[in-house]
Structure 1
């Protein structure tokens, strides 16, 4: 599930949103109200239940072959996502929806532009679209999905490497 040209996506478990209004997200370190969305390259970060902790890593321009081989694996693609066993059933059972939003209202935010934001209310271009099987989406995109007992050892390896990475909802991971 990716946006078409001129669109960004917002993923949600709520299929009834008719208008997105800027707000301060409870998990955000930023205090300005925004409507959050993602571009095509960051959509896979959100192919999960909202509260699911996930650690993600991918090859970037400064990634060494040694780090890629050690963490992603030789010949295993360019990207890996890791979740904990306790979240596997939720990943398989969640009803996730994507809203297509007009990209013209959105601009990158932050140093690494992992998301785009709008400062004005935004109406979806159509109704929420069900997102298909999340495991299948990962497979079709060539993204490894690892299921681990605990994310923290993997996260430690990733953040100490030359790979690019993102961690979402890590506060929900096992300690």
Structure 2
């Protein structure tokens, strides 16, 4: 199964749309695989950074980013989003994989160029508990800019920076 997360409870069909930040990309329906779905256990506009170790990571960067954790994945959000994390309800729309093609294996993204109909909708509450249940370390930070800068200057190659346009200014 593939999934799409929304704060809207009653979507009956997903029509391909262009992404605002990818004007040169065709209109598609986006979905994510089960392994990576936790990266969408957040309010839609919540800026977040997802990092994972890889074999390409230098020892210095491994210590910098993962030195004090045993987690395989760290997600950082700004502290001001904590309340929304506690209060937001999401809806997980499930899709059959037929009609989708793999877009990004590392991130678990799939796309479809066709209108897509969900086969199931599940209400998702307790986003913080779900993250903890997946073994994700959640970091609350006053500001994401220093982490983003450090990542972009590092050997880290398994990361995602989501909705950064909504991050607080430095």
Give the structure-1-normalised TM-score. 0.88
SS in 2 for 1:71: helix
SS in 1 for 2:165: helix
Q: 1:58 to 1:113 in 2, by over 3 A?
A: closer
Q: 1:168 aligns with which of 147, 155, 162?
A: 162
SS in 1 for 2:98: helix
Q: 1:148 aligns with which of 141, 147, 151?
A: 141
Whole-angstrom CA distance in 1 between matches of 2:104 and 2:135: 27
Per-residue deviation, residues 5-45 of structure 1 (Å, max 9, x unmatched)? xx100000001001111111334344311001101232121
Counterpart for residue 50 of structure 1: 44
Whole-angstrom CA distance in 2 between matches of 1:45 and 1:113: 9
Counterpart for residue 4 of structure 1: none
Report the aligned-residue RMSD: 1.8
Q: 1:11 aligns with which of 5, 10, 14?
A: 5
SS in 1 for 2:5: strand
Kindly indicate whether residue 57 of structure 2 is the aligned counterpart of residue 63 of structure 1. yes
Q: How many residue pairs get matched? A: 168
Counterpart for residue 96 of structure 1: 90
The answer on whether the counterparts of 1:68 and 1:74 sit within 8 Å (CA) in structure 2 is no
The answer on whether the counterparts of 2:49 and 2:159 sit within 8 Å (CA) in structure 1 is yes
Whole-angstrom CA distance in 1 between matches of 2:107 and 2:79: 29
Give the structure-2-normalised TM-score. 0.90
Shift of 1:74: 3.5
The answer on whether the counterparts of 1:151 and 1:173 sit within 8 Å (CA) in structure 2 is yes
SS in 2 for 1:26: coil
Whole-angstrom CA distance in 2 between matches of 1:18 and 1:149: 38
Whole-angstrom CA distance in 2 between matches of 1:46 and 1:29: 22
The answer on whether the counterparts of 2:36 and 2:107 sit within 8 Å (CA) in structure 1 is no
**Which structure 2 segments of 5+ residues have no match?**
none
